[in-house]
Amino acid sequence: MTDERLQALYEHLAATGERPVERTASRWLGEAEAVAADIAEGDISADVLAERLATVDHILSQVAGTGDAVADDHVEAAREIVDDLLAEQ
């Protein structure tokens, strides 16, 4: 279900904030987390959802690595969720 995936996206990104992540990656991940929180919490139209998912996708494309294996796994999981959701749009 989409709502569950949106919540999972947010949770993966929030989990990176609890890890010792490289500073530049942390800034990007914080931005992605904020957008993901917005879409996970709000009841938004399909058009706005697609736009915000594209924003998260773009932000995550700026993260080459975090310097932490656990955080990298969360980033990869978030990317997979975004890719799946965007493919459905």
> What's the pLDDT tens digit per position in 18-74?
999 999 999 999 999 999 999 998 788 989 999 999 999 999 999 999 999 999 999
Cβ-based neighbours of 52, under 8 Å, separated by 6 or more: 35, 38, 39, 44
| Residue 2 banded pLDDT, cuts 50, 70, 90 | low
C-alpha dist (Å) from residue 5 to 20, 64, 68: 25, 23, 23
Instruction: Answer with the residue of higher pLDDT: 13 or 42.
Output: 13
Query: What is residue 1's predicted lDDT score, i.e. its pLDDT?
Result: 46
Separation between Cα atoms, residue 71 and residue 67, nearest integer Å: 8
The pTM assigned to this predicted structure is 0.93
